[in-house]
Each structure stands twice: as C-alpha cells, then as structure tokens.
Amino acid sequence: MPEIIQINQSVITLGQFLKHATIISSGGMAKPFLMDYTVWVNDEADNRRGRKLHPGDVVKVEGFGTYLLESAQNEDN
C-alpha cells in the first residue's frame, strides 16, 4: 500500500516532492539524489528533478518506498 502524500498545488516537481516527502532535507539535494537513486513515476524511470507530478501519480523511490500523490485542496473549490 503506497504512502499518501498530500500536495497543496495542482502540480509539483519531482525535486519538490522529494523534499515534501522528507526523502531529502533540502531542494539542493535533489540533483545528486536523483543521480544515485532510481525513481519511478507511474512505472516509468525518471531522474529529472523538474518532472511535473500531479495528484494521482504514483512515485516509487528505490530504497524508500512507494507514494501516491493526493490533492490537499478541498474538491468543492
């Protein structure tokens, strides 16, 4: 079962996601992290820290786990 990560925006970058999910402690760590670890977005390997992620995307991070992005915004808005 994937861990749910709620985001306040409609789009978040892979680098921002890594920080938001507390996989890395600062945005500056995204580039070296992505050079060392395999990240899968919707079953597709991707190492671009600028990759756009949306609610419903599934992110698997080698050695860390599987995450499902969800919108934290009220759906009535």
**Which three-class secondary structure state does DSSP give residue 77?**
coil
Give the separation between CA 22 and CA 38, rounded to whole angstroms: 17
Is 77 among the domain residues?
A: no
pLDDT digits (tens, 9 = 90+) for 29-64: 999 999 999 999 999 999 999 999 999 999 999 999
Q: Is the pTM of this model over 0.85?
A: yes
Is 25 among the domain residues?
A: yes
pLDDT at 77 over 50: no
For residue 10, the domain's CATH number is 3.10.290.10
Which residue reads 């990759």 in tokens?
51
Is 76 among the domain residues?
A: no
Which residues constitute the domain of residue 62? 3-71
Is 36 among the domain residues?
A: yes
Is 43 among the domain residues?
A: yes
Cα pseudo-dihedral 64, 14, 29, 7, rounded to 10: -80
- Count the domains in the chain: 1
